[in-house]
Amino acid sequence: MKVYLDIRTMRLKLNWSLRDLEYYSGVSRSSLNNYENGFSEPTLTNYVKIAKAFQVSVENIENKLLKIE
């Protein structure tokens, strides 16, 4: 699964807006929007911040996604 699909799907399952994810992760909305739309890939640092916002490890982000569904 592509990173941008993971981020968008998890965010929507939590009923979070991009603004919410920006607040919890510290990653700018413009960057998050670019990641979700596949225009760019997150840096490792930003991917870790996003995973922490979702309260999952980077290794388990896809497993967490399956549990949320």
User: Strand, coil or helix: what is 24?
Assistant: helix
Residues 6-27: tens digit of each pLDDT: 889 889 999 999 999 999 999 9
| Residue in the block written with tokens 């916002």 | 53
Please name each of the domains of the chain with its CATH number. Answer: 3-68 (1.10.260.40)
- The pLDDT value given to residue 58: 72
Phi, psi of 18 (to 5 degrees): -60, -35
- The pLDDT value given to residue 1: 47
Residues 69, 47: Cα–Cα separation, whole Å = 21
- The pLDDT value given to residue 69: 47
Sign of the torsion formed by the C-alpha atoms of 25, 3, 36 and 44: positive
Give, as one character, the DSSP assignment of residue 50: H
Comparing 56 with 53, the larger pLDDT belongs to 53
The pTM for the full model equals 0.79
